């Protein structure tokens, strides 16, 4: 273990994470990068787990207000939600309201090493799945739904109805373990969202035409303020959320 890695490990394990910043643009040793992400994730998730239920409920309510009041939510017709688990920002009421607002709602299901979103019509369509996380029991995947709508079956042309273009505006509610103020993210370590978003943008590029007018995805990460730190290690190919919404602010 290098001296630099040892120093980072000491600072992090002593709970001095807030004072241990990583310089953007630099490439730290692989061992150090892996170690720092792992320790930061563990510490921040422990902090999130310690939120008192009453306080967490208040925070969830404030986050919902910011989500529903945001112009991106009001314009979108498709919501790629996540079913909250343990101490994550609660999404039950978010999903319930999105369905009541007439949004098309999809929730992820994990199969092997990959994740795909499946449509739900109500919260009753969810059942215990991967590691006990609620997953859809329905049989309509997001790609199949898109194909059925005919959204990605043509290139962008002036004669495409504006209503059909609007239908393609989608929003993703993204969970995560840690975020920084520049919206870099540390997930839970499995890379499901990273791989899914890489596939999404590849697929959108293939089917949306040069101007990208047919497919629009707003990535809205949901977190508590205790999950936000000043700076995180990151890689140049990371896909950042467009917004990070907490109970106190919206990072853009």
Query: pTM of the prediction?
Result: 0.80
Contacts of residues 143-152 at CB distance under 8 Å and 24 or more positions apart, as own/partner, are 143/116, 143/203, 145/104, 145/106, 145/119, 151/207, 151/214, 151/215, 152/203, 152/206, 152/207, 152/208, 152/214, 152/215
Summarize the confidence of residues 89-115 as an average pLDDT.
Answer: 96
Tell me the DSSP string of the chain: --HHHHHHHHHHHTT-GGG----TT----HHHHHHHHHHHHHHHHHHHHTS-HHHHHHHHHHHHHHHHHSHHHHH-SEEE-----TTSPP-HHHHHHHHHTT-EEEEEEEETTEEEEEEESSGGGEEE-GGG-EEE--S-BHHHHHHHHTTTSS---TTS-HHHHHHTEEEEEE--SEEETT--EE-SSS-HHHHHHHHHHHHHHHHSTTTT-S-EEEEEEE--GGGEES-----TTPPPPSEEE-SS-EE-
Per-residue pLDDT band for 202 (boundaries 50, 70, 90) equals confident
The mean pLDDT of 169-186, rounded to a whole number, is 95
Q: How far is CA 80 from CA 12, 23, 95, 110, 117, in A?
A: 34, 33, 10, 14, 7
Q: How do beta strands 243-245 and 216-222 pair?
A: parallel
Which residues have CB under 8 Å from 177's CB, separation 6+?
Answer: 41, 44, 45, 186, 187, 188, 227
Instruction: Choose between 164 and 199: higher pLDDT.
Output: 199
Per-residue pLDDT tens over the stretch 103-125: 999 999 998 889 999 999 999 99
Residue 244's pLDDT band (cuts 50, 70, 90)? very high
pLDDT > 70: percent of the chain: 74
pLDDT in tens, 33-76: 555 888 999 999 999 999 999 999 999 999 999 999 999 999 99
pLDDT, residue 130, reads 86
CATH of domain 52-251: 3.40.50.10420
More confident position, 178 or 162: 178
More confident residue, 246 or 204: 246
C-alpha angle with apex 77: 71 to 79, nearest 5 degrees?
90
Calpha distance 181→183 (Å, rounded)? 5
pLDDT at 152: 56
Average pLDDT, the chain: 81
**Cα dihedral: 90, 93, 96, 97 (round 10):** -120
Using CA of residue 199, residue 111, residue 44, residue 170, what is the dihedral sign?
Answer: positive
């Amino acid at each position: 273990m290098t001296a630099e890695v040892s120093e980072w490990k000491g600072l992090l394990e002593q709970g001095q994470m807030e004072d241990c910043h990583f310089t953007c643009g630099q490439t730290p040793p692989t061992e150090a990068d892996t170690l720092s992400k792992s320790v930061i994730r563990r510490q921040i998730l422990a902090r999130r787990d310690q939120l008192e239920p009453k306080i967490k409920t208040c925070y969830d309510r404030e986050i919902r207000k910011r989500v529903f009041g945001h112009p991106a939510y009001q314009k979108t017709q498709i919501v790629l939600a996540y079913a909250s688990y343990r101490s994550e920002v609660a999404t039950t009421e978010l999903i319930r309201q999105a369905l009541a607002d007439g949004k098309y709602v999809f929730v992820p299901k994990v199969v092997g090493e990959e994740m795909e979103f499946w449509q739900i019509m109500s919260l009753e369509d969810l059942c215990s799945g991967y590691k006990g996380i609620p997953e859809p029991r329905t049989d309509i995947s997001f790609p199949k739904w898109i194909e059925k709508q005919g959204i990605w079956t043509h290139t962008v042309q002036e004669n495409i109805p504006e209503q059909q273009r609007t239908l393609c505006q989608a929003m993703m509610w993204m969970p995560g373990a840690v975020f920084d103020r520049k919206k870099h993210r540390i997930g839970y370590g499995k890379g499901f969202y990273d791989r899914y978003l890489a596939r999404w943008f590849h697929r959108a590029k293939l089917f949306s035409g040069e101007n990208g007018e047919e497919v629009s995805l707003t990535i809205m990460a949901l977190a508590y303020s205790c999950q936000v730190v000043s700076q995180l290690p990151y890689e140049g190919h990371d896909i950042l959320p467009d917004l990070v919404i907490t109970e106190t602010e919206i990072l853009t």
